[in-house]
Amino acid sequence: MSINAAASCHKVNHNPEMERIEKKLTTEHEYDADTGDIVERSANKVQKNDKNDESNISSQTNLTKDEVCAGLIHQLETIENAKEKSEFVERIMKILNDVSRKIDKNVTDLLLRGPAISSDGIRVLLSDDPEEIAEVITRSALKPHESCISYEQLLDLDKNVRGLYGRAHYEKATMHDVVRRIVRPVCEETGKSYAEYLNPDGLIISAFITHSWNEKFSEVVKYLTTVFQSSLKKPNIWICAFALLQGDYKKIKDQVQGDGNLETSPFVLALKEADFFVVLRNSNTDLYTRIWCVCELLFAMKFGLVPNRTLITGPETFANTETTCLEAESSVVEDKVQILEYLELNYGAEDVDEKIREFRKMKLRTTTGWQLKHLLLFLIGCIAIIAAAGVISVMMLQPTPSIDVDKEIERIITTEFPNLEESLSEEDSPQYNAFDLLVRNSDAEDLGVRKILQQFGLYSMYFKTGGSDWTQKRNWLESNYHCDWYGINCTDGEVLVLDLGNNNLAGEIPGEIRTLTSLLHLNLGKNMLTNVPSDIGAMTSIITLDLSKNDLTSVPSNVGAMTSLITLDLSENDLISVPSNVAKTERCNTKKVKYLIKTSN
């Protein structure tokens, strides 16, 4: 059954076995507290003619729990949709209430959440054994700190969101929109949170993300990518939209409020186990006008995550805003009441507001890789000082040599591409034009090897694919700083994202693109490209590669050498086949590429 179809399901169909069980339970039976079984009523008991006639009791015959379980489980196994399962369990609960069967509240909460609706769930529903109930509850649901998605899964979701909304609407989509269009339908069909759907066994939390749902989803991905860019091991991320089972108001309220104790809410329990507290700011809403963000900050302070294990990312739009927790809002009114009562009892509103003001003033880290970076800088500094002490007198006596910009740039390029010496001298070749533009835009004090190589690769792309006819080319010829160019996202000068999708690129992708060695995401979809260079195999950092909707007839086998590649989109081209080392089957169940999309070829 498709996700969209799930929303159209209404009632659970009865089958004869279920009709028999239901009839017996509702009209002919009652719960026997002494035996724990559901027993048949005598005729006199049903008619209530003689409530005290003990002789009638001897005519009772038992319908054992095993028999009841067998019938209910048989019906449950015929139901595929989670919403239908929930309705089925609610009916069973009503039936049991009708025969005076008291149901443990924990069991009720568990089963109505959805993920534990199973054979075990039915058995425990009829159980009187507290240990059995506790064991099933523990086994059937992930703990809050296990309800995470991986960093890579966030990037995969971003890919899906881009595909769903298209280039024109992607930038406008908020977290609310993504939950409504993608996350909630998954929850309704599977009965699981989005995180549990992706990771049934759970992922232990690394980073707790405090944020507002009013943010643009593109900002979520952009700024989380930035904050974890230097992490050698990418984190497991706890985001409430993915960690909780999304559904109607009551479902959300029941999960969040739980037993009424704020300290046992999933937010607080997950935060307590986190390695990092990540403050994800946005350009739409000040986080501390949202009561849950206020609550999360106070608990992050309580758990010792602030300041040393706190990372902050996103625009400073509201950095100097004055707010009060008393005016902070919540989607669920009861949440605000519960949180304010807790804060007032443990801190006081004025103290909370002061803590927020102090937090806004803190100079906090923006990436996880700062320790290694600073250590390296310190060591390099020490070495430089020692070296300088030994040669300073010689350096002072030597005249400063003049640098020939042309020759230095040529040296850098030909060292990387020895076979390009001839192309660099051929006027009007893409490589010559790229080299010429580099020379004109560079000076003797700005000849870093990485900058030269990256810009040479980018300029070669521009001239090789008809850059003058591109739909968007802002700053590509006007600025000598490539991070300001259209379609490029950088960190510390390294290009991480190159997005030139649907931009009227035509012709061949140049091999010089391999100079973008830090590139994570390359989108060249919806263009008129005809060839992929074998050099692309050297781009081993790329995670997602979109070459869809072009005029490609083949793909080089070197793509199989892209060891980080997770998603490769080759759909709607003129491909005859895909190299076997890229995908062994149509569904691409290889370790190298997790998702291969190659429809309409």
Chain segment 193-245, per-residue pLDDT in tens: 899 889 988 999 999 999 998 889 999 999 999 888 767 788 999 999 999 98
Percent of the chain with pLDDT over 70: 65
What residues are paired with 523 via a beta bridge? 499, 546
- Mean of per-residue pLDDT scores for the chain: 75
CATH topology of domain 405-597: 3.80.10
Cβ–Cβ < 8 Å for 347, 325? no
SS3 string, 379-446, reads: HHHHHHHHHHHHHHHHHHHCCCCCCCHHHHHHHHHHHHCHHHCCHHHCCCCHHHHHHHHHHHHCCCCC
User: What does the DSSP 8-state code read for residue 287?
Assistant: G
Chain segment 323-363, per-residue pLDDT in tens: 999 999 988 888 899 999 999 999 999 999 999 999 988 86
**Higher-pLDDT residue of 1, 567:** 567
Quote the pLDDT of residue 148.
95
CA distance 152 to 198: 12
Amino acid at 88: F
User: What does the DSSP 8-state code read for residue 336?
Assistant: H
Give the start-end residues of each E strand in 459-543: 488-491, 494-499, 506-508, 521-523, 528-531
What values do phi and psi take at 313, rounded to 5? -150, 160
Task: Say which residues have a Cβ less than 8 Å from residue 500's Cβ, sequence separation at least 6.
Answer: 461, 470, 487, 523, 524, 527
| pTM score | 0.47
Quote the pLDDT of residue 390.
55
565 has pLDDT over 60: yes
Chain segment 418-465, per-residue pLDDT in tens: 888 777 878 778 998 888 888 888 765 667 888 899 999 999 999 999
Kindly state the tokens that stand for 75: 């019906």
Which of these, 303, 313, 302, 388, lies nearest to 346 by C-alpha position? 302
Which of these, 211, 355, 339, 361, lies nearest to 287 by C-alpha position? 211
Cβ–Cβ < 8 Å for 463, 485? no
CA distance 439 to 454: 14
3-state secondary structure of 63: strand
Around Cβ 349, how many Cβ atoms within 10 Å?
13
Query: Rg of the chain's alpha carbons, rounded to an integer?
Result: 31
What values do phi and psi take at 62, rounded to 5? -85, 140
The verdict on whether omega for the bond into residue 307 sits within 30 degrees of 0, i.e. cis, is yes
**Higher-pLDDT residue of 172, 77:** 172
Helix (H) or strand (E) holding 310: strand 310-313
What residues are paired with 365 via a beta bridge? 311
Quote the pLDDT of residue 25.
47
Kindly state the tokens that stand for 443: 């000076």
Cα–chain-centroid distance for residue 342?
Answer: 30
Cβ–Cβ < 8 Å for 37, 65? yes
Give the pLDDT band (50/70/90) at residue 524.
very high
Percent of the chain with pLDDT over 90: 33
Give the pLDDT band (50/70/90) at residue 516.
very high
